[in-house]
Structure 1
Amino acid sequence: MNPLDPNSLLTHLGPWAVLLAMFAETGLLIGIVLPGDSLLFTAGLLTTTGVHLSLTWTLILAPLGALAGAQVGYLIGRRAGPSLVENPHRPRLAKTAERAKHQLESYGVGRAVVLARFIPAVRTVMNPLAGALRVDAKVFTQWQIIGGLVWTIGVVLAGHALGSRIPNIDHYLLPIIAIIVVVSLIPVAIEVIKQRRR
Structure 2
Amino acid sequence: MEGLKVSEADLLVYLHPSKSKNVSQAIYNELSSMLFKYNETFDGVLLAYSASTNDELAKILPGLHPCFGVRLKAQLLLFDPKPNMILEGKVVKLGAQSIHIVVLGFSSATIIDEDIREEFDYKVKHGKELFASSVNKRHKIEIETVVRFVVKSFDEETLHLSGSLLQPNTGNVNWLDKYAEEDLVESNTKKQRDYQTTDHSKITTDDDRVKRSKKHKSSHS
TM-score, scaled relative to structure 1 = 0.25
Q: Structure with the greater relative contact order (CA < 8 A, sep ≥ 6): 1 or 2?
A: 1
